[in-house]
Amino acid sequence: MKILQFGGTGQVATAVQAAAREGTEVVALSRAECDLEDPSAIRRAIQAAQCDLVLNTAAFTHVDPAESHPDEAFAVNATAPGVMAEVCAARDLPFIHLSTDAVFDGLTDRPYVETDEARPLNVYGRSKLAGEQAALAHPRAAVLRISWVFSRYGRNYVSFMLRLARERDVLKVVADQFGTPTDGEALAAFLVETAPRWAAAPSGDPAFGLFHFANAGETSRFEFAKAAIERDPLSRAKLEPTTQAAFAEPAPRPPRSPLDTAKLRAVFGFEPEPWRPAVERTADRLVTMGAIG
């Protein structure tokens, strides 16, 4: 089993490489090895690859900078996956692409399902929605929406909050934004374990299409941070709840964007772990490793 992966150093990209078992080879291309703003480079990479599946873990994920750099955001998040899907379709290769809860406006009183209307509030969300649509033009494509990703790899919300809690006496954390954290290592394991099914599945198989992948249960940014910080004996910060409005960020965020994963369970039999033990385990690992940043 050989996977061609766009993205080499991000947290999910790194987790996928770590999750690859004997019999699975992951060829991960960094931005330096394949410029995602160059469609011809993407085409060459896929056409030259002797692979069974193409996985895109790369994205322009900087939500606020996307507001002032929309062309770059759309090039990486929309045009690039569209090219990947087009070349994969021509070669009859399955294409797996990652998207985001930011395609929703957050004006809901229940977790979002895949058939809910996407109404993104910011440039990042709009670029990712365009990428979903481009990817799903390929009949052998699967798009997984994820949210609030954390892992022991790279810089993410858990590692960032752990660092701030060691540096500050008071840490103000948003308490009026709600969602479903996603264990990046569980996601990576799922991608590697499901790759053979995608590779063998024909067009029209239920394994293709749009899915939500996240841990079970929803929480606030405040409780998310608290669950991690409480695992660190060197944390000194007192946590104080605040509001999204208090931060006045350039890009508006959806106030509530939990993801319903019932379709994922029905099609793949995957049962997501509750978010809290996953966050606590990751925080414990980061504290033990000294990888807080």
Share of the chain above pLDDT 90, in %: 90
CA atoms within 13 A of residue 178's CA, in its CB half-sphere: 14
Q: How many domains does the chain have?
A: 1
pLDDT of residue 31: 87
Within-domain flag for 223: no
Q: Which residue has the tokens 């319903």?
A: 260
Within-domain flag for 126: yes
Question: What is the phi/psi pair of residue 249, to 5°?
Answer: -75, 150
Within-domain flag for 165: no
Identify whether 157 is a catalytic site residue. Answer: no
Within-domain flag for 247: no
Within-domain flag for 222: no
Q: What CATH number does residue 27 fall under?
A: 3.40.50.720
Question: What pTM was estimated for this model as a whole?
Answer: 0.94
Using the predicted structure, report yes or no on whether residue 92 has a pLDDT greater than 70: yes
Using the predicted structure, report yes or no on whether residue 105 has a pLDDT greater than 90: yes
> pLDDT tens across 168-209, in order?
999 999 999 999 999 999 999 999 999 999 999 999 999 999
Mean pLDDT (whole number) for 102-112: 95
Q: 47-56, 163-172, 209-218, 240-249: which range is least confident on average?
A: 240-249
Give the span between the Cα atoms of 255 and 243, in whole angstroms. 10
Domain that holds residue 19: 2-155+180-217+256-273
* Residue 173, Ramachandran bin (φ over 0: left; ψ between -120 and 50: alpha; else beta): beta
Show the tokens assigned to 236: 């000194």
* C-beta neighbour count of 167 within 10 angstroms: 11
Within-domain flag for 226: no
Mean pLDDT (whole number) for 235-249: 90
Within-domain flag for 107: yes
Q: Pick the catalytic residue: 112, 124, 153, 157?
A: 124
pLDDT of residue 22: 76
Give the span between the Cα atoms of 52 and 195, in whole angstroms. 9
Within-domain flag for 237: no
> pLDDT tens across 6-61, in order?
999 899 999 999 999 878 999 999 988 999 999 999 999 999 999 999 999 999 99
